[in-house]
């Protein structure tokens, strides 16, 4: 008896139905998984090391916008970035010229009482550097922060006048950070008055963290000011070996967290070292960016380690 002949199209049709069912099931599973995923996921946590850099978590929601209408937002391509801030600019014209000639974008923090503060601001921005007001603030002890410093006990009108005058001297500044200021930044009431004035001028704030008692970043955040804190002082120990160690620490932090904020000063040793290191770091895949590229509203607050040695000459007190 001859065997029945099967329709040759039936197996193919059955396979097609099975494949469609599998695809629909996978889509449903993926949609359910994504719906259950929180908006902000911790993606990296940097461990403390000898530099005093504390743990700080970066969240995915801080790294990319919800709707991407242009090329990837900061860190989206995971190219580690370094925001390099040079404080105390304006005291020595020769050192200022070398800062502006550094072979990468840097953020130039200008002393408002410098003779040519306005001209330095214009020159820096013409060379694609961002500028800050390096605002003198009261230190602990008797060291003089310079003229027109913010001091604990000043009234709101005086503080507003000082900050407004400094902004007029450095009109292109995107933000400000503290010059000295270990006493001022530890006083939450005084810093609250400062940030009320800063909000009127649309300035962000970088806490230089010159004291382990600083509350400046926390107060800024409470006042709705865009704020961040420096991670590493490059030259708090003024030796070539120490500076090289700090460069290595900056790279480790940028690799682990995606970004690092470092502060240096316009000293001969520091500038010599930066001129060598920047091209080397770029060749290793690091990108140097303006501070506003990495600073975020309501950034997690960084505090100084209790045994951290603060910087000299304006990163100090």
- Asked if residue 199 is part of any domain, the answer here is yes
Helix (H) or strand (E) holding 6: none
Q: Is the pLDDT of residue 29 over 90?
A: no
pLDDT in tens, 123-157: 999 999 999 999 999 999 999 999 999 999 999 99
pLDDT of residue 57: 29
Q: Is the pLDDT of residue 46 over 80?
A: no
Q: What is the mean pLDDT of residues 71-77?
A: 46
pLDDT of residue 210: 95
Does the pTM surpass 0.85? The reply is no
Q: What is the mean pLDDT of residues 217-223?
A: 96
**In this structure, are residues 158 and 165 in contact, taking their beta carbons and an 8 Å threshold?**
no
Q: Residues 275-286, buried b or exposed e (16+ Cβ, 10 A)?
A: eebbeebeeeeb
- Asked if residue 103 is part of any domain, the answer here is yes
Residue 184: pLDDT band by 50, 70, 90 thresholds? very high
Question: 182 lies in which domain range?
Answer: 42-294
- Asked if residue 21 is part of any domain, the answer here is no
Residue 45: pLDDT band by 50, 70, 90 thresholds? very low
Q: What is the mean pLDDT of residues 37-41?
A: 31
- Asked if residue 317 is part of any domain, the answer here is no
Q: Is the pLDDT of residue 179 over 90?
A: yes
- Asked if residue 4 is part of any domain, the answer here is no
- Asked if residue 25 is part of any domain, the answer here is no
Q: What is the mean pLDDT of residues 160-167?
A: 98
Q: Is the pLDDT of residue 14 over 70?
A: no
Non-local CB neighbours of 286 within 8 Å, separated by 6+ positions: 79, 80, 81, 82, 251, 254
pLDDT of residue 77: 52
Count structural domains, the chain. 1
Torsion sign (Cα): 11, 14, 19, 22? negative
Q: What is the CATH number of the domain that holds 275?
A: 3.20.20.370
What are 179's strand-pairing partners?
Answer: 136
């Amino acid at each position: 008896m001859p065997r029945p002949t099967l329709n040759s199209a039936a197996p193919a049709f059955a396979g097609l139905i099975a494949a469609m069912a599998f695809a629909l099931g996978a889509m449903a599973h993926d949609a359910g998984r994504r719906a259950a995923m929180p908006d902000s996921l911790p993606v990296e946590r940097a461990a403390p090391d000898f530099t005093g850099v504390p743990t700080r978590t970066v969240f995915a929601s801080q790294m990319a916008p919800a709707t991407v209408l242009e090329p990837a937002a900061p860190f989206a391509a995971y190219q580690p970035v370094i925001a390099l801030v040079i404080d105390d600019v304006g005291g020595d014209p020769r050192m200022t010229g070398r800062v502006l000639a550094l072979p990468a974008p840097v953020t130039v923090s200008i002393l408002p009482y410098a003779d040519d503060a306005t001209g330095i601001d214009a020159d820096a921005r013409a060379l694609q550097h961002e500028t800050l007001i390096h605002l003198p603030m009261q230190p602990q002890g008797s060291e003089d922060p310079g003229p027109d410093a913010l001091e604990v006990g000043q009234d709101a009108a005086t503080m507003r006048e000082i900050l407004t005058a400094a902004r007029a001297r450095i009109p292109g500044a995107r933000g400000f950070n503290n010059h000295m200021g270990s006493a001022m930044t530890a006083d939450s009431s005084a810093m609250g008055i400062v940030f009320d004035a800063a909000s009127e001028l649309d300035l962000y704030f970088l806490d230089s963290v010159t004291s382990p008692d600083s509350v400046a970043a926390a107060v800024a955040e409470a006042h709705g000011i865009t704020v961040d804190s420096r991670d590493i002082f490059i030259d708090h120990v003024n030796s070539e070996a120490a500076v090289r160690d700090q460069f290595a620490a900056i790279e480790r932090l940028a690799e682990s967290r995606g970004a690092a904020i470092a502060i240096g000063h316009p000293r001969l040793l520091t500038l010599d070292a930066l001129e060598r290191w920047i091209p080397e770091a770029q060749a290793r895949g690091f990108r140097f960016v303006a501070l506003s590229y990495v600073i975020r509203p309501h950034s997690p607050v960084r505090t100084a380690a209790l045994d951290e040695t603060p910087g000299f000459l304006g990163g100090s007190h």
